[in-house]
Structure formats: structure tokens, C-alpha cells
Amino acid sequence: MGSLAGVQYCEMDKFCIPVLAGELSDPARVRSRSRAKPLCDKCAEADYRPGDIEILKHHKKLLAAAGALLDRKVAGTYEIIPTLVFAAFSDKDDVYAGIGEWIAATEASPDDEDWAYLFREFSLRFGSIRPKDSIGNVPVVWRPPLGVGLVQGNDDKPFEAVKIEVHEPVESRLVGAYYSEILELYGLSNERGRGDIRWASFGGSLHMVVRPEEDTILHPILKFTISDRRAQGAPFPHRADVAAEYEARRGQGYPKGRGGGESAKHYNAIPAVVAWYLSDRVLLEAGKEKRNINRLVKACLRGPRRGRIPELEKRWQPWRSLERILPRIKQTEFDLGLDTDLNNPYGWVHQTF
């Protein structure tokens, strides 16, 4: 900010550390003896340098989202990555910013008509990415940590099984809810079934296959009418049984989580995604530019939280985490509409609502 009547304010503006820390609503004053450096004491202490604002001002929404996720202690990368990628898109493109405002202005409740409409429209366009809720003005979107699908049978047996893939540990209630949701969507019953639930673990994910009860077993005498009965849809196991089965597997340590033990911790994943966009989507090699981005990310994320989030002080390895999670960042960019074949400024593909 410029000077007014001899008073000079910190040039970091919205990124001034006391503003980010919630201590001031406007940037701090610059002490007169350090006027050559247009930064307040706290910003200088956080290792901001004059001119940093020129980079940060293009990433306002991304940095606000990163701060909100850190403050809320959001730990799941299936929530961290989509939320930050969406925020980075919103900094570049008003269409995304508008959708984000829509999410933030709508109460996240499955019973709310407006939310249901928003949820449907968003899901139709962005596939496996879904709106979740918001933290203040920051829209939170996520890739649900589980997927559910129907396995098709032959003509007289339209649906053979429900396949559930759980990629990261979730509450068993959620597994039951997704399971019954897909059955209801296809008009299938899960009220009284006694079927069969099997499971296996692949690449850190838990896979469950749920089948309806077999008429051959329950009603051997009706063997000749099996086809008719199956076409009407044999009942699937009750959602509570599926949830209980998942709960038992979770107790045994499944799923282990996507990427197993390699998965990044949130206090590294959040700075890692920020570093990716601050360096203009380049995985920087060791050198001056990388050190500079590292310093900037540290200053604006750790500076205002100094001492409040001890992990940020001790275990600062965002670049190592970035290499691990980069495939998932790129997958999310693709799902949200980044055309990876184009090389223009991020090559956004508009998804018009």
C-alpha cells in the first residue's frame, strides 16, 4: 500500500501476517525507520521480501483455501487436493469462482433443495469431484473416499452385485448410505436380503462385493422359476449389514489408504499443492527459484500460524510430498476440466452451468 499523510502500510496487503493471523483487519503500519523496506516487522520476520505481493496477489483464493484447511485441520488428501485445485482454478477463471461462490452461499444439507440441485449439476459436470461444504467463503470440494457401482448381469439377472471400493478409511455409516443410495436409484430393495458380502484388499483400497441372496439356495423347490424371480430383483443385504461388514474390516486395518504408507501428511500436502501453483505448475529442480517458492509458501502459510501448528515448524517437506501426490493433483485438474493437451495459460475448458 502507498503512503498517506506520512504513514506507510505494509505492502503485503491481504497477506500481511497480522491480517492473516486475524489480529488486524488492515495491513500493519511500517515503522518509520525501516521505510526503505515496505514491510511491517512481522512480515519481515516471517521472511517475506519486498515484491512478494506481486506473485501472491494472483493466488488469493488458493491461499485463502490453504489457510482455511490448515486452520480446520482437514487431514484427508481426498479433500485437500480437490479443494485447492478448485481454488487455483477460481483464481484464473471467473466461471470457477462463480461456482465457488454458489457453493459457499448454499447450505450443505442433503435435505435442502438448493443444495441438491447444486450437487447434481456439479456432479454431472465434474464427475467424481463433489461439492462438500464451505469454510467461511472458501468452497470445499472433495473426491469421496469411496465409490459404489452396480455389476451388470445377463438378461434375466440385470444386476449381479454391488461393488464398493473404499480408498481411505471412512465412517461405516457413509458406506451404508452410498450402498443403499445406489440400490434406491435403480429401484432395488435392501430391506430384507440376506445375501453375501465378500472383500479383498488391492493397492491400499478395500473392495467389497455384495450379492443378493440366491434363490437357488433359499428356495430350491422353485428352481424352475428362478429367472422370473431374479428379473424382479432379488433383495440385497440390508445396509446395516454392509456397514457392519465394513466396520469389521476397518478394525483389521483396511483400507490402508491410497498409496499406503506413502500418502502425504496434510501439513505437507497443503503446502505442496500451493507450491505447485506458485511455481506455475512446474516441478522445480533444486535451485534459486525453488528456494524462493519454498520461502514464500512458508511465509504465508506458516508465518501467521507460528507455533500454533507444531507440525508446520518441524516437518517441512512439501516438495517431497508434491512428487508423491502429483498424479492425484493432475487427475483432479483433468476431472475439473483442465485440458492437459493445451499449453496456454492452464488451458481451461469452460464447463458452463
For residue 182, the surrounding DSSP H or E stretch is: helix 172-185
Q: How many CB atoms lie within 10 A of CB 252?
A: 9
Q: Which stretch binds Zn ion (CB under 5 A): 13-21, 69-77, 147-155, 208-216?
A: 13-21
Phi, psi of 301 (to 5 degrees): -95, -45
> Least distance to Zn ion from the beta carbon of 300, Å?
11
Contact between 43 and Zn ion per CB under 5 A: yes
Strand partners, 209: 163, 198
> Which residue among 10, 85, 148, 300 contacts Zn ion (CB under 5 A)?
10
Q: Which stretch binds Zn ion (CB under 5 A): 3-11, 166-174, 316-324, 329-337?
A: 3-11
Contact between 85 and Zn ion per CB under 5 A: no
> Which residue among 20, 38, 40, 103 contacts Zn ion (CB under 5 A)?
40
Our CB check for Zn ion shows the closer of 40 and 138 to be: 40
> Least distance to Zn ion from the beta carbon of 16, Å?
3
Q: Is 120 left (phi over 0), alpha (psi -120 to 50) or beta?
A: alpha
Q: How many CB atoms lie within 10 A of CB 152?
A: 10
Contact between 182 and Zn ion per CB under 5 A: no
Q: Which stretch binds Zn ion (CB under 5 A): 43-51, 120-128, 153-161, 338-346?
A: 43-51
Strand partners, 201: 206
Our CB check for Zn ion shows the closer of 38 and 144 to be: 38
> Least distance to Zn ion from the beta carbon of 43, Å?
3
Contact between 16 and Zn ion per CB under 5 A: yes
Q: CB neighbours of 285 closer than 8 A, spacing ≥ 6? A: none
Separation of alpha carbons 293 and 11, rounded Å:
19
Contact between 30 and Zn ion per CB under 5 A: no
The single-letter code of the amino acid at 304 is P
> Least distance to Zn ion from the beta carbon of 10, Å?
3
Q: Output the CA torsion 101→78→277→44 (10° steps).
A: 90
Q: CB neighbours of 220 closer than 8 A, spacing ≥ 6? A: none
> Least distance to Zn ion from the beta carbon of 58, Å?
19
Our CB check for Zn ion shows the closer of 34 and 340 to be: 34
Our CB check for Zn ion shows the closer of 52 and 333 to be: 52
Cell of 45: 520476520
Q: How many CB atoms lie within 10 A of CB 298?
A: 17
Our CB check for Zn ion shows the closer of 17 and 146 to be: 17
Our CB check for Zn ion shows the closer of 20 and 74 to be: 20
Residues at the site binding Zn ion, with contacts judged by CB under 5 A: 10, 12, 16, 28, 40, 43
